[in-house]
Structures are given as C-alpha cells and as structure tokens.
C-alpha cells in the first residue's frame, strides 16, 4: 500500500512539475495579436459628392511586433492610409480611410483589408456602411433599350428628378453615340419636379449592339455633371 502511495505521489509531483514548466512558456509566447473594438463604421446618410473620413484604431495586445504587410481597399473610391507597418507590443496603430461618394447612390458598403502576421487575423476586414442620397436623381440610372430589329428606331425615356430644395438648371444634354436624337437639351426643374427627356435611337443594318452615354451639366454644386449609361441591343 505504501508503495502505491509513493508511486502516486511521484506521478502527481511529476505532472505538477511539467505544468509549471509549460504554462509560463505558453504565457510568455503570445506572439503578435491585433485587437480592434470597432471594425465597422456606420456613417449614416450623406449626399452624393460628400466624402466620408474615418480613423480605425487598433492595438497590438501581444508580446511580439505586429507587422501589417499590406492594406487594400475594395475599390478605387476608397483610400486607406496606414500610420505605420510595424506596431510594437502594447502600442496602437491607425488606418485612415476616405470614401468618395461621387458616383454612388443608395446603400453602400466598402471594405478595407489589413494583411498581418497575427495568426488569428491574417486578413482583417474593416467596413464603411451607409446610404448615399442624391439631389439630382436620374431614372433609370442606366437606360437599356431593345432588342430591336436592325434598321428600326427605338425610343426610351430618361427622367431627371430634382430632389433638392432649390431650382435646378439642366443644360447641354447630348449623346456620345451617332444616330441618336434627344427631345430636350436642357431645362429648368423646380424642387420635387421632373425633366423628362425622350431619346430616339435609329439602328443600322448589321448592327448588333450600341453602348454610350447621355452627358449633361447642372448648376447643382454637388452634382455638376450628368453621365447616364445607355445600352442598345439589336437583332439581326
């Protein structure tokens, strides 16, 4: 019986010794650890043409240097600037993000990717989310016509809506394509009202498709230019 107790005590002591050896080693080797409290920034509602600027702050809570090897954004409309690539243990880093809303409308979600040496966060995603409202609205945003038989003429309607609180002047409406006529080259639009423009496209034999734009200008400082895509499909 005494031999059994001695053997058990030896086993327990050996186990305790191993734990004491392993636990401090594991506690001392946390490595780089990226921690960020708010990876999402809801910017609410903005007007088209406004710019959103935000600073994401993160901390290296590990015990080794955190290295951010690359910062990448989901599109050219979003710029991201890193404060520094190497963040020492216990220190903070920043990512300054700027979103240009000029060519956006409705709900928007943009992403910035951080590539790091943190094993748990090899690629961290930061998000900007919100809604872009327009003062000069175009319906439809893209005009698609057809299919129509070659040699025939097809009409479509573009509506320019003044959603601002001031009178809007639209001018110099013109197509970038040949054989296209517009019913109006511009006009004055009161708040809440609509300028309706008819576009007539005459197709040619052998033509299969035609793409282009209707361009124009306004006196709205937020949306001084109009650029409306037009797509035409032609049957042989």
- Structural domains of the chain, count: 2
What CATH number is given to the structural domain containing 74?
A: 2.60.40.10
Q: Is residue 204 part of a domain?
A: yes
pLDDT tens track for 80-109: 999 999 999 999 999 999 999 988 999 999
pTM, entire model: 0.72
CB atoms within 10 A of CB 186: 18
State the Cα torsion 14-19-24-28 to the nearest 10°. Answer: 130
pLDDT tens track for 123-133: 999 999 999 99
Residues 58 and 118 in one domain: yes
| Helix (H) or strand (E) run with residue 86 in it | strand 86-87
Answer with the one of 72, 99, 133 that is the final residue of a domain.
Answer: 133
Q: Is residue 141 part of a domain?
A: yes
**5 pLDDT exceeds 70?**
no
pLDDT tens track for 211-228: 999 999 999 998 999 999
Concatenated DSSP letters of 26-67: HHH-----EE-S--EEEEEEEETT-EEEEEEEEEE-SSS-EE
Q: Is residue 6 part of a domain?
A: no
Residues 121 and 174 in one domain: no
Residues 151 and 124 in one domain: no
Residues 75 and 113 in one domain: yes
What domain range is 110 assigned to?
39-133
């Amino acid at each position: 019986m005494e031999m059994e107790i001695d053997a058990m005590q030896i086993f327990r002591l050996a186990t305790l010794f191993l734990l004491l050896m392993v636990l401090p080693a594991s506690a001392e080797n946390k490595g780089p650890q990226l921690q960020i409290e708010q990876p999402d920034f809801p910017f609410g509602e903005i007007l088209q043409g406004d710019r959103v600027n935000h600073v994401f702050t993160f901390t290296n809570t590990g015990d080794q240097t955190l290295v951010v090897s690359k910062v990448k954004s989901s599109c050219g409309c979003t710029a991201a600037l890193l404060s520094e690539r190497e963040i020492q243990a216990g220190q903070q880093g920043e990512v300054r993000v700027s979103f240009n809303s000029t060519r956006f409308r409705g709900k928007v979600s943009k992403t910035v990717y951080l590539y790091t040496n943190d094993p748990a966060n090899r690629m961290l995603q930061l998000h900007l989310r919100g809604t872009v409202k327009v003062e000069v609205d175009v319906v439809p945003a893209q005009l698609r016509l057809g299919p129509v038989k070659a040699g025939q003429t097809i009409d479509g309607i573009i509506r320019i809506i003044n959603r601002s609180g001031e009178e809007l002047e639209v001018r110099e409406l013109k197509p970038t394509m040949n054989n296209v006529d517009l019913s109006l080259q511009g006009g004055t639009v009161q708040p809440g009202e609509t300028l309706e423009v008819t576009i007539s496209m005459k197709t040619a034999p052998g033509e299969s498709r035609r793409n282009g734009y209707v361009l124009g200008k306004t006196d709205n400082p937020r949306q001084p230019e109009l650029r409306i895509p037009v797509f035409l499909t032609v049957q042989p």
